[in-house]
């Protein structure tokens, strides 16, 4: 097998691993769509925009930004609709990070993702309870934080998958 074919296969495998890591990073809140966009930009630059055009990169960038805006608005909106105050929203943010950190050693990747969702809900409940001293109003805030995190993560995963699929289609010809 000629070396240029081996090199191309190796680079495609590496690209696929980067795209997969980007998708895994999304529910962890680690900017997975930016990782995927970075891979697309790299492919575009290396190919002198023959494989992925500037127009396609512009559309991908717009989708990533839209995903970030939706995440910010949807997470806060759902938590607010379920009664969360600023304290509850802060608790959801900090709890999501803490849950991901705690979940990682328990079960890598899956534990991180589950931990971030559970942590968001628990964090919202704890800080909402600390602020209001009433568990009855804190529980719905935690549920809202969990639902907001889940909904925004699903939207961002769909955006990331769409971009990743487009990159794979363009590069694996």
Tens-digit pLDDT profile for the chain (173 aa)? Answer: 687 777 778 888 888 899 999 998 887 777 899 999 999 999 999 989 988 899 999 999 999 999 988 876 777 778 778 887 888 878 877 887 788 788 877 776 677 777 877 887 888 888 888 887 778 778 887 888 788 888 888 999 999 999 999 999 988 87
Q: What is the pLDDT of residue 63?
A: 95
Q: What is the pLDDT of residue 10?
A: 80
83: left (phi over 0), alpha (psi -120 to 50) or beta: left
Q: What is the pLDDT of residue 137?
A: 73
Q: Where are the domains of the chain?
A: 3-171
Q: What is the pLDDT of residue 33?
A: 92
Q: Closest by alpha carbon to 148, among 86, 93, 66? A: 93
Cα separation, 110 vs 114, whole angstroms: 6
Q: What is the pLDDT of residue 109?
A: 65
Our measurement of the distance from residue 42's CA atom to the centroid of its chain's CA atoms, rounded to an integer in Å, reads 20
Token digits for 56? 């396609």
Q: What is the pLDDT of residue 1?
A: 61
Cα separation, 66 vs 172, whole angstroms: 27
């Amino acid at each position: 097998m000629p070396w240029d074919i081996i090199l191309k296969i190796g680079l495609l495998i590496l690209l696929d691993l980067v795209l997969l890591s980007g998708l895994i990073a999304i529910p962890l809140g680690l900017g997975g769509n930016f990782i995927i966009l970075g891979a697309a930009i790299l492919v575009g630059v290396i190919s002198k925009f023959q494989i992925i055009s500037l127009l396609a990169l512009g559309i991908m960038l717009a989708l990533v930004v839209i995903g970030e805006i939706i995440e910010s608005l949807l997470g806060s909106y759902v938590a607010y609709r379920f009664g969360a105050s600023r304290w509850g929203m802060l608790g959801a943010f900090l709890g999501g990070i803490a849950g991901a950190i705690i979940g990682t050693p328990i079960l890598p990747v899956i534990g991180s993702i589950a931990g971030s969702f559970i942590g968001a809900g628990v964090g919202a409940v704890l800080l909402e309870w600390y602020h209001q001293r009433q568990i009855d109003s804190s529980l719905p805030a935690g549920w809202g934080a969990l639902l907001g995190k889940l909904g925004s993560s699903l939207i961002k995963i769909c955006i990331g998958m769409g971009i990743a699929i487009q990159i794979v289609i363009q590069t694996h010809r």
